[in-house]
Structure 1
Amino acid sequence: MDGLQILPLAVTMMLGPQIMSAIIFVTTPRAVRVSLGFLAGVALATTAGTAIMLGLAALLDLGDSSDNGSSGKIIQYVLVGLLAAAALKNWLGRATAEPPKWLTTLMAADPGKAFKVGLLVILVMPSDIMIMMTVGVNLAQNDASFAEALPFIALTVLVAALPLLITLLFHKRAEAAMPRIRDWMNSHSWLVNIIVCVIFIVLIL
């Protein structure tokens, strides 16, 4: 996978509750320690999830990546259909959409809980599972090793770390901006979900 494919995938991995969690953690009293716990969870989950998907893809005969009738391509087309349906559902339900209730509990999180959140927002989010599946299928179809997934994993963690890095670099400005960004994303969660679906569809096609 080249850089033009990796960066959008890494960004899409963190859109939605994932980046919202990272932003909430930098607004907590122990922002650095809690955020580092979250990043450790994201790194472990992305590494494990990608390795599992690559292993599953390697066990299946997915065919060549250029063959439109291969199993790998069929899986990608099914994913596009599911993403389109999810985007439509978010659009139709935008008037009553609310962010996940568990996000409101993160302000009191300690590093241990932040680590668990980092694991869960990667391993149980359907969008992230689909992205890691796409990476695994792509690597398997091109007979690539797991080492070629490391840039994707590193970029995902870097995107997750952006709220913390911005807070450390622009302390006062970030302290004022992050709560506003957090509140906007909470109130526009439906739009963020649609953006995730559209970006991923474009990447697959």
Structure 2
Amino acid sequence: MDGLNVLPLAVTMMVGPQIMSAIIFVTTPRPVRVSLGFLAGVAAAATVGTAIALGLASLFDLGDPGDSGSSGKIIQYVLVGLLAAAALKNWVRRETIQPPKWLGTLMSADTKRALKVGLLVILLMPSDIVVMLTVGTHLGQTDANFAEALPFIAATVLIAALPLLFLLVFHHRATAAMPHVREWMNTHSWLINILACVIFIVLILA
């Protein structure tokens, strides 16, 4: 994936309810087991979603990535428009936007439910679908195989694992800090969503 910056793409994949879920899981009574289930779901969903995006891209002639009028570039411009609209919507509604209600139910999640959440927050989140479509479009334009997407998938899982890694390395500090981080993200979810859109727009246009 020479033309894409893997780490910012992975960050964009996890910004929002995705990373908030990971933070909540490390504050549950069984944080390690539940978090590992979540990570397994994220890994599976990112792998399947990217493979599907690449498969869809391979069905069309996307043209030369350097051609601003190619089908692949047009698709990317449409994605930029959608992201800009999403960012504007979050700004306009910033006073009333609340995190999804289902986030509040994750404190009692077991490993099976955490796995399911990991799958769904990747496969059903519009922002993640856009990211994976962009990755698939880029791979299709450069005639790359699926192996080229593995660094992106690995980076996504690594970002998702950061709360768990922080807990394992700084156990007592992490236990005290994570609830405060979770609360800040709850009250600033609109800002997080806007930042994710802006980062991704920059990546597509770069």
Instruction: Give the TM-score range, shorter chain.
Output: over 0.9
Q: Which residue of 2 aligns with 1:152?
A: 152
Q: State, as a whole percentage, how many aligned pairs show the same letter.
A: 77
1:3 is displaced (CA, Å) by 8.7
CA distance in 2, matches of 1:131, 1:97: 23
- The 3-state SS of whatever aligns with 2:36 is helix
1:2 is displaced (CA, Å) by 3.2
Gaps of 5+ in 1: none
CA deviations 1:120-166 (Å, max 9, x no partner) are 00000000000000100101100100001001101100000000000
The TM-score with structure 1 as length reference comes to: 0.99
Q: Which residue of 2 aligns with 1:44?
A: 44
Structure 1 consecutive aligned stretches of length 4 or more whose deviation exceeds 6 Å: none
CA distance in 2, matches of 1:6, 1:50: 13
RMSD: 0.9
Gaps of 5+ in 2: none
Q: Work out whether 1:190 is the aligned partner of 2:190.
A: yes
| Paired residue type of 1:8 | P
CA deviations 1:169-195 (Å, max 9, x no partner) are 000000011100000001111000000
CA distance in 1, matches of 2:8, 2:167: 23
| Paired residue type of 2:159 | V
CA distance in 2, matches of 1:23, 1:157: 14
CA distance in 1, matches of 2:31, 2:2: 34
Check whether the contact 2:4–2:203 (CA below 8 A) recurs between aligned residues.
no
How many residues align? The count is 205
| Paired residue type of 2:61 | D
Q: Which stretch shows the higher mean deviation, 1-10 or 35-44?
A: 1-10
CA distance in 2, matches of 1:2, 1:106: 37
Gap change, CA 1:10 and 1:109, over 3 Å in 2:
same
The TM-score with structure 2 as length reference comes to: 0.98
CA deviations 1:49-108 (Å, max 9, x no partner) are 000000000011111100111110001000111111110100000111100000000000
| Paired residue type of 1:87 | A
| Paired residue type of 1:139 | L
Check whether the contact 2:54–2:146 (CA below 8 A) recurs between aligned residues.
yes
- The 3-state SS of whatever aligns with 2:78 is helix
CA distance in 2, matches of 1:135, 1:188: 28
1:4 is displaced (CA, Å) by 6.3
Query: 1:19-168 alignment to 2 at 5 Å?
Result: 19-168=19-168
| Paired residue type of 1:70 | S
CA distance in 2, matches of 1:2, 1:10: 15
Check whether the contact 2:49–2:132 (CA below 8 A) recurs between aligned residues.
yes
